[in-house]
Structure 1
Amino acid sequence: MIPTPYFEDFENFTVSTSFDEDGCWNEESLGSFTWDVGTGNTGSLNTGPDAAFSGLNYLFSEASSGSQGDEAIVLSPQVDLSNLTTPAVSFRYHIYGADIDQLSVDIDDGTTLDLDVFTIVGEQQTSETDDWVQVFVDLMPYAGQTIQVRFRVTRGDGYEGDVAIDDVNFDEAPTCFDPLNLEVISVTDISADLSWQAGSTETNFDVEVVPAGTPPTGTPTFEDVSVPFTATGLTSETDYDFYVRADCGPGDVSNWIYPEGFTTALTPVTVVVNDPAINNTYCYDNNEFKEWLFVSSDIQITPPTPVEVIFNGGTIEDGTGSTDRFRVFNGFDQTAPRLYDSDVQGTDLSGVTLSADSGAMYMLLESDIFGSCQSGVDIEVPFDFDVFAGVFSTVAFSDNNFKYYPNPVSSTMTIDSANPIESVQVFDILGKEVFSNNYEETSININMDALSSGTYLMKVSISGNSQTFRVIKD
Structure 2
Amino acid sequence: MATKILTYILIISTLSVYAQNCNNPIVPDYFETFDNYLPNCWEEADEGSLTNGPMFLGLSDWTQEEFAHELDAGLGAVNINIRDLGVSDWLLTPTFDLSAGGYELLVDVALTNFDTTSADQMDSDDEVILAYSLDGTTWNALKTWNNTNQPDELGEIYFNELVNLNGQSQVRFAFYASSGSIDEGQDYDFHIDNFSVALPPTCFDISNLVVTDVTSTSATINFDSGNEFSNGDFQYAVTPRLQGFPSAPTADLTDPSLPQNFPNATFTIGNGSTTGPALDPHTTYDLYVREQCSTGDFGDWSFPVVFTTRCNDIASSYPVNIDFANHIPNDCWSESPSGDLSTGPVNTGNSDWRGGRSYTDISGTVIPSNAIRLYQSDDNEWLMSEIYDLSGSDNDFLTVDVAVTSYQINGTSFESNTSNMGSDDQIYLLVTEDGGNSWTVLDLWDVNNRPLSTGSRSSYNISAYNGLTQFAFYATDGDVDDIGIDLDFHIGQFIIDATASVEAASLENSISIYPNPAETGSIYMDISNLNNQIDAQIFDNMGKLISANSFESGSRLELINVDNLAQGMYFVKVSSGEESHTLKFIKG
TM-score normalised by L of structure 1: 0.43
